[in-house]
Amino acid sequence: MNTQTIRRFACALVDADEAEGPSLAVSVKYRNNPSSYDGGAPWGRTKIEEDRIQDPGFGSGPVSFEDIEWISVSRVPARQVNVPGHIKKFDALVALCSEIDGVVITADSVTMNIA
């Protein structure tokens, strides 16, 4: 997958998350790492560069797009805090990602598989 498509998805995630309410619950899986990481999406567009995210908030520092295996956002967060607000942001993400190649949209999640 090309970096422009990944960058477009990251920007859609930031744009959807900018509305008032709880941050979207994001899961990220890095290549060559058996674990996935859960956190919010407080990046802001200024942190998204051409081929990396300056600090995605998972304690990893700058992350190159090529180091990410997948990024996923669940419709309902694991922490059941302000679920209606989260769903509203999720629905915005669905609308923003509907025409991005490689993004899988289901009733329960939005996922970009980068591998």
The predicted-structure confidence for 41-93, as pLDDT tens digits, reads as follows 767 788 888 888 887 666 667 888 888 899 999 998 877 777 888 899 999 99
What average pLDDT is seen over the chain? Answer: 86
What is the structure's pLDDT at 94? 96
Which amino acid is it at 83?
A: V
- pTM to 2 decimal places: 0.86
For 86-114, b/e burial (b = at least 16 CB within 10 A) is: beebbebbbebbeebeebeeeeeebbbeb
Q: What is the DSSP string of 75-110?
A: SS-SS-SSHHHHHHHHHHHHHHHTTSTTEEE-SSEE
- Helix, strand, or coil (residue 11): helix
What is the structure's pLDDT at 93? 95
